[in-house]
Amino acid sequence: DGSELTEIENFADAKFAEQDDELFGIAKGKNLIMVSVESTQAFVLNNEVNGQEITPFLNDFAKESLNFTNFYHQTGQGKTSDAEFLTENSIYPLSRGAVFFTHSGNEFTSMAEKLAENGYYSNAMHANNKSFWNRDIMYKSLGYERFYEVSDYNVTEDNSVNWGMKDVPFFEQSVGLMKDMPQPFYSKMITLTNHHPFYYDEEDKMIDEYNSNSGTLNRYFVTVRYTDESLKRFVEELKASGLYEDSVIVLYGDHYGISENHNEAMSQYLGKEVTPFVSAELQKVPFMIHIPGVDGKEISTVGGQVDVRPTLLHLLGIETKGDIQFGQDLLSEEHESFAAFRDGRFITEDYVYADNKCWDKETEQPTDNSYCEPYIEKAATELSYSDRVIYGDLLRFYDPDSAKKEE
Ligand code: GP9
Ligand code: MN
């Protein structure tokens, strides 16, 4: 009932990280373009395969952006949709199943809804079947006004590969759609080409495959390189259309592309054994925020997808105090270096908890468990409160106005 929410409200209020005054509203009134970059892990950034750069565009773009270098995905079985859930709501997905399927009828206080309340045209763009991950239903609950899905795009055999429409034409056609949107708009875009099994057309191959016993990993580099190119073209098209100067561009990796089934090939590539420590560190994904006119900066605080909502809303000058959020503004001085994974692993400033061991980041070896002990409970508490919000549909009882009055 409502009283259960009170306890959770208190938890969220205690966790709230006050925004930095200098940064609050620095992107006020700008469009927000947020790209979920399919299966892109951070290890490909500033890295090479066969002596060839894998992500030349992202490497440059990161330098012009607020670039978060210790940012982790926190998804479970809901994969892309879990990443969407986290970034929209600052609530964790479930430990089993996909919350997009199991709780699409819940009440949410998503970023899309909050932006719509603040005059934004909130929409999602993804050139796949609209019912994939139950998006057509869930997006209504999340407050998107419009979902540009496969039927809004001109998809041909020629411009498709693997799972569907290629990223280059997807971005190209999306800019066409954006030109007609009322501003400011919030567009959440989801790429598709760099998806397992990472099949590609020969004409799109810009670097050579890797050579290992895993065809999956070998091809992965080629399709990551292609998606990197598509993002470059996207930004060029935004510039040509005049939208670039008025838009914040956010990129995040949704989840891993290379599972533990490919550890042998991965260890060949990395030149070291894929221990549980390395495996956890491989869950790092890119997260960058590009704001026109704002200098790039590397931000090393440990965080995750649950932190995206407060971080972005504060930059856009929208308060989140009193909202039920489990994440913290990554740009706040009060942000605590911490990322809980959905499976019980977690990352702190100095330690990684994985395989029931506490790993020292410096030595990459297990150390005394007592260093991780306090965080084990912290992670469990946080996840259980988050689960209660979903299972009890507790945001039904949430009244933002009364939350504000209590401040
Ligand atoms: C499908 C795309 C991929 O529309 O979002 O989903 P995934 O398998 O990565 O969760
Ligand atoms: Mn995905």
75 is catalytic: no
- The position carrying tokens 């994969």 is 79
Judge whether residue 1 has pLDDT over 90: no
Give the mean pLDDT of 97-107: 98
Ligand nearest the Cα of residue 254 is 2
Judge whether residue 345 has pLDDT over 70: yes
pTM of the model: 0.98
Residues with CB under 6 A from ligand 1: 79-80, 126, 128, 132, 190, 195
Name which of 24, 32, 239 is nearest 120 in CA terms: 32
Confidence of residue 16 (pLDDT cuts 50, 70, 90): very high
> How far does the centroid of ligand 2 lie from the alpha carbon of residue 362, in Å?
31
Of all residues in the chain, the percent with pLDDT exceeding 90 is: 97
The active-site residue out of 40, 75, 80, 193 is: 80
For the CA of 79, the closest atom of ligand 1 is: 10
Question: To test the ligand 1 pocket, which listed residue (170, 192, 193) has its Cβ within 8 A of the most ligand atoms?
Answer: 192
Which residues share a beta bridge with 53?
48
Judge whether residue 56 has pLDDT over 60: yes
Tens digits of residue pLDDT in 133-161:
999 999 999 999 999 999 999 999 999 99
Give the mean pLDDT of 321-350: 98
Closest residue by Cα to atom 5, ligand 1, is 80
What's the pLDDT at 3? 84
Q: Which residues have C-beta within 8 Å of that of residue 271, sequence separation ≥ 6?
A: none
Ligand nearest the Cα of residue 128 is 1
ipTM of this complex:
0.99
What's the pLDDT at 325? 98
What's the pLDDT at 401? 72
Ligand nearest the Cα of residue 132 is 1
- Fill in the amino acid letter for 182: P
Tens digits of residue pLDDT in 353-382:
999 999 999 999 999 999 999 999 999 999
Judge whether residue 403 has pLDDT over 90: no
Give the mean pLDDT of 212-231: 99
What's the pLDDT at 407? 46
